[in-house]
Structure 1
């Protein structure tokens, strides 16, 4: 196998690997791996909390690069028979941001980039590339909740205020903010094993009404903006939005227009593996530029992967404008 697993920066486990899978989605922060090993009797053992990394050769390249690093062994289980097998669940170190809770108070005027620096510093997580998200955020009082939920609240407020979509992503260089669809190399999916297209009106929105958050006790809330879409085609499917992040008529209009959507279209694709593709990347499928909302890599020679794909607009509505 052309993949390497290194434990504690000391034990090279390539010869013990039976299988490796990597899984990531837009609704989780930590990249996850499942590793099955055949363990010899004299192996010193593996325990939760130990450092681990997974490396492999990207498609079209010749040298190995880290695929999941820095990683931590989160769970391990073993089965004793003629050959002892051990299964590891591994996450990158942002798992600590998903599992840890805190309270934070932020003054108005900071950006999501600036706040991410504080989260990472407090949890001693190395920082990588942090683009300026630019949008100035309102005052935030975060009561006991996970650090990841705070990060996503900051990023959602950024989008609702007209900014770009970013997700936190751990790389070998450190914790980064990755712009959705911002990958330099856009891979074309090939070697298609199976592809399913789903179409639905279940989450279709053809009219959006944005209300102010302040109103009299016996008076309706002030309407800040109304946007209409394909009402003639799909009928009136109206959504009411009342959000503290929206303060002006201009912001309300942008939010209303961004939430309009026709029929929902998503794709599930199984194909030849491209082991560097991650959630949030843009890929080319049948001539369409689509965003990866989740991906599972079954690493091997050759490997294969399963992806869930959506349009840029659907990703924005589902992951950043959902309340």
Structure 2
């Protein structure tokens, strides 16, 4: 019998069809680059299932027994069938792509005008209300934002613009996340259970990447200028040019008027060597992107995770330090 017929995992279609006996493979993928949690489910098609059918737009959920626990919990819920690909080689199979309902925020566009003084939390509440999403536990970001004029663009890009401004102004980093209770907003690294990953225990492979891709060792900060005139240079901030060479970024902000503020803004853009760690090992099926984990007793954040569900299953994590995550995902 497969792992899925041993009561470890369950896939339920349209809140009434339990597909466990038909499941051959389930993977779950989560990333700070995207808002929606994604599942890929491979099903064998029997005569009985042929009568039921499956199609994009149907409600679906994935549940499982959490690592080290007992009893099923929701792993991806509420979810919807987004795509179905069938193939027949003797036996017919269907590969189903599932997203949680935040996919609507990623795929839908709109325009918004927000006054100054609102927080990312208040704006998220507005987005959710307009798009018919129930709210779950939403953290208070506590940072007042500037006036925003968002022309036609995906809703998720607006959410991230709000969250980036929150972080740039000294606030914490947050991530929207769909839960069974509704759309939530969680602070990165705030998970109650912090899993310890250790070589020769639950980690099979560790790969480290160090690169100058994305590094910035010098920042030229420009002020505002009339049309057809060169922008004035308010500050030239230099970092590790002796070590890594000159990798310059130009930062232009019409709100900057003095050299002190310009230098401060430029210093925030400096970043040296970029380092990420990829870990493969036994699956801990409740780890999500944005969670904190300990790798050999060092605190790191999860940039992305891929769960290959099973008993025990496998997972692949990309990890990085907080400063890297702030620069890569929450810099303006």
After TM superposition, is the score higher than 0.5? yes
Aligned: 1:63 with 2:101:
no
User: Where does structure 2 lack aligned partners over 5 or more consecutive residues?
Assistant: none
1:304 pairs, out of 314, 320, 328, with 314
Corresponding residue for 1:155?
A: 163
What does residue 200 of structure 1 align with?
211
Q: Distance in 1 between matches of 2:42 and 2:150?
A: 39
CA contact (8 A) 1:161 1:246 kept: no
Shift of the alpha carbon at 1:192? 2.1
1:1-323 alignment runs, 5 A limit: 1=4, 2-43=8-49, 44-190=52-198, 191-212=202-223, 214-217=224-227, 218=229, 220-221=231-232, 223=234, 227-243=237-253, 255-321=265-331, 323=332
Q: What SS does the corresponding residue of 1:23 show, helix, strand or coil?
A: strand
1:50 to partner: Cα distance: 0.5
1:137-179 residue CA offsets vs partner (Å, 9 max, x unmatched) = 1111111111111111111111122211111111112111121
The alignment's C-alpha RMSD in Å is 2.1
Secondary structure, aligned partner of 1:42: helix
In the superposition, the TM-score normalised over structure 1's length comes to 0.92
CA distance in 2, matches of 1:251, 1:64: 53
Aligned pairs, how many? 320
Q: Deviations over 1:11-58 (max 9, x none)?
A: 111111100000111111000000011122022111110001101111
How far residue 243 of structure 1 moved from its aligned partner, in angstroms, is: 3.7
The TM-score, its normalising length taken from structure 2, stands at 0.89
Contact 2:220 2:233 in 1 (8 A): no
**Aligned-pair CA distance for 1:256:** 3.2
Give the SS at the match of 1:119. helix
List alignment gaps of at least 5 residues for structure 1.
none
